[in-house]
Structure 1
């Protein structure tokens, strides 16, 4: 269940205007359940019509509690079902109209195959090529180009991990500003170096004899990845002389 900010000091307490929240506050709220969500992701979902925050006269976004709950539903359906955004939008719109909307089972399957029955054991999320194309709203030619630059990389069995959807969405969004995939090679190289640094730190945990310590490696990896991503964003903002929300 998503938690909305309460009164008092702290990063999550910036709600103003009768409960309306800035995009930075919304990010803090969502990260309780979705630690990998970013401001760019929230803006992308807004651009795709998944949420419509109101704007102040100066142009700042103000999200209501209902907006945050809707974002949580979107992120949850992406994470748990890997549905295309169009399907998610239609599903949520139908629910808001009071219609009986059955959630389709599109994700976690290979192209042309039915989704596997859920099991008690946790499994890594996978998405097929056609699902990735639909979720990102791109064609085969574009995906091949992105793969040639290493921006999106299929797994050994030809499917993709769930994060490929996020990468594809961001690459597509940057394209609207004239930033082509070839321009993103430096970002990919920097990301690989940052990942290598994180891996170097957690490698001893993965090799530890204690199973609990090895299990802790994943949590530490996510924590370090989040910190490096935030530092990267802060450094970019500093270099450009702007304060990122």
Structure 2
């Protein structure tokens, strides 16, 4: 019988825990986290678990706290790896990091959330569909390299997603926060064998929904431009987005249920 893969052992020797145990602890707060993502962060030099002679990774409590810091900075603040590395380096040297009230090389779940760089301040998670959240997300700017580092998207997949219009840069060559979500979704779906060419249908559908929403918002915008009253177009846009997403999920879920 073949021996189990190094990172699949049920328990780690004394002095640390296995990557599987780390995953179970962190997935409550980071449900999309995978062993591959943890290994990728190790390859990038953001975390350095101990390696036994057998090859098993052993994560200490400090390693887990460090991972939590990294994942929080990525999810909530859209920090690229370079910014995270700089912050961790300052913490390791006992220096202050803006936004952390108590500098520590072992940030934990109760530590204050890391403050974003000035150009990324105020980003909101994709699940927040309020008008203010949508405005904050539009303020995020990431270079193509920062986007790939943030999401683990390889250069070839990035090129394909751009070719099919799933990723788009602004006039300054920067990506907005929504492209982070697109890239992360593409990375997740690639594990099921889906490539950019399979995902272009989502671009077609999204463009049609965008056109319909713009038609509904245009009268409100013209009225506001003339000094009239009525709902704020930004608030109405957020409402329409929420209803559109709800309808989309309901239709797909209904269709899948009928196939069972």
Do 2:74 and 2:80's aligned partners in 1 also have CA atoms closer than 8 Å? no
Structure 2 residue aligned with 1:22: none
Equivalent residue in structure 2 for 1:179, among 194, 209, 214: 194
Corresponding position: 1:108 with 2:120: yes
Cα-to-partner distance string for 1:120-143 (whole Å, 9 max, x where unaligned): xx8722122221011111222221
**Alpha-carbon separation, structure 1, partners of 2:113 and 2:222:** 47
The TM-score normalised by the length of structure 1 is 0.55
Do 2:217 and 2:236's aligned partners in 1 also have CA atoms closer than 8 Å? yes
1:151 CA drift (Å) = 0.6
Structure 2 residue aligned with 1:210: 227
Do 2:153 and 2:184's aligned partners in 1 also have CA atoms closer than 8 Å? no
Paired residues for 1:66-85 under 5 Å = 74=72, 78=75, 81-84=77-80
Corresponding position: 1:44 with 2:22: no
Cα distance change, pair 212–157 in 1 and its aligned pair in 2 (3 A)? farther
**Alpha-carbon separation, structure 2, partners of 1:166 and 1:106:** 21
Structure 2 residue aligned with 1:166: 181
Paired residues for 1:19-168 under 5 Å = 43-45=31-33, 74=72, 78=75, 81-84=77-80, 87=84, 94-96=106-108, 103=115, 105=117, 108=120, 124-168=139-183
Do 1:127 and 1:161's aligned partners in 2 also have CA atoms closer than 8 Å? yes
Do 2:164 and 2:196's aligned partners in 1 also have CA atoms closer than 8 Å? yes
Corresponding position: 1:224 with 2:224: no
1:100 CA drift (Å) = 9.5
Secondary structure of residue in 2 paired with 1:44: coil
Secondary structure of residue in 1 paired with 2:234: helix
1:196 CA drift (Å) = 1.1
Do 1:107 and 1:126's aligned partners in 2 also have CA atoms closer than 8 Å? yes
**Alpha-carbon separation, structure 2, partners of 1:125 and 1:175:** 25
Structure 2 portions without partners, runs of 5+: 1-27, 39-67, 92-103, 122-135
Do 1:146 and 1:181's aligned partners in 2 also have CA atoms closer than 8 Å? yes
Structure ID, larger Rg:
2
**Alpha-carbon separation, structure 1, partners of 2:246 and 2:32:** 18
Do 1:171 and 1:181's aligned partners in 2 also have CA atoms closer than 8 Å? yes
Structure 1 portions without partners, runs of 5+: 1-25, 27-41, 50-69, 110-121
1:160 CA drift (Å) = 1.0
Cα distance change, pair 236–149 in 1 and its aligned pair in 2 (3 A)? same
Secondary structure of residue in 2 paired with 1:155: coil
Q: CA RMSD in A?
A: 4.2
Secondary structure of residue in 1 paired with 2:32: helix
Cα distance change, pair 206–172 in 1 and its aligned pair in 2 (3 A)? same
